[in-house]
Amino acid sequence: MNSFLTELKNRNEMLYWAGWLFIAGAVICVALIFTSDKQVLGINARYKPVKFFLSSAILMWTMGWILVYLQEEQKVNVYSWVVILVLAFELIYIVWQAAKGELSHFNISSPFKSMMFSLMGIAISIMTAWTGYIAFLIFQKSFPTLPDAYVWGIRLGLVLFVIFAFAGGIMAAKLSHNVGGEMTASEGLPILNWSKQFGDLRVPHFLGMHALQILPLIGFYISKTKSSIIIIAVVYFILVTASLVQALNGKPLIKS
């Protein structure tokens, strides 16, 4: 683990330290869970910031690891700042709303909250589109010193990340992550809080975006050829798409 962190710091010090800052934010929110009884959708209001802090840190460290392969310092620095600023903006608002015991996403109960929800959507869309551009650059380059399966794991992981990040727009359009019933969290799966009663669009959103970590790891440690990782990526895409269709039909991933 120490060698990984040392290498990560050498690859992208900016995203390395930003990731640690977000992990610290998650730890603080975990502590606040035990000192605050404010709830949102039936669970402690601090659970959502914890999940977003951790997922943001994972994204930062993943991209920090990958970006070194571009060998284009200026583009990498600009993208790194975009990621940090967008995710910091989103987390500041999520934490602020949690402190008040109110929803951050899908909350249009006032002009200000509606504006902030829209701004979060715009900011995340910009970051996602920029990530798509990074994917394009990586597709354009050749990496003769890296295993083919690993390179294609990175490429296809980026593609699925972008596709299913934008799929989050379905939730924004519906002003809900649930399909077939009202948003609740108290009756959801442990930790993830995915609904066990209704369709939950967070399932494909989560699984699709984390292809960014899963496919490169499979490509590096398990797959040995380009064709095998492509087949795995296609199967993964089909399964995540099936979970999206399931959610849109109002069916939970795991029924209570």
Q: Is 140 exposed, middle or buried (0-12, 13-18, 19+ CB in 10 A)?
A: exposed
pLDDT tens readout for residues 182-193: 776 656 888 888
User: Mean pLDDT of all residues in the chain?
Assistant: 95
Find the mean pLDDT for residues 150-160.
98
Find the helix or strand (DSSP H, E) in which 90 lies. helix 73-99
d(CA 231, CA 6): 33
> In angstroms, how far is CA 125 from the centroid of its own chain?
12
Find the mean pLDDT for residues 63-73.
96
pTM beyond 0.85: yes
Q: Domain-by-domain residue ranges, the chain?
A: 1-141, 145-256
Which two tokens mark 132? Answer: 């798509």
Which pLDDT does position 152 carry in this prediction?
A: 98
> What residues form DSSP beta bridges with 40?
43
d(CA 99, CA 78): 32
pLDDT tens readout for residues 96-136: 999 999 999 999 999 999 999 999 999 999 999 999 999 99
Q: With left for phi above 0 and alpha for psi between -120 and 50, is residue 121 left, alpha or beta?
A: alpha
Find the mean pLDDT for residues 71-93.
97
The amino acid that residue 110 corresponds to is S
d(CA 71, CA 52): 29
Which two tokens mark 228? Answer: 């095998």
Residue 46 predicted with pLDDT over 70:
yes
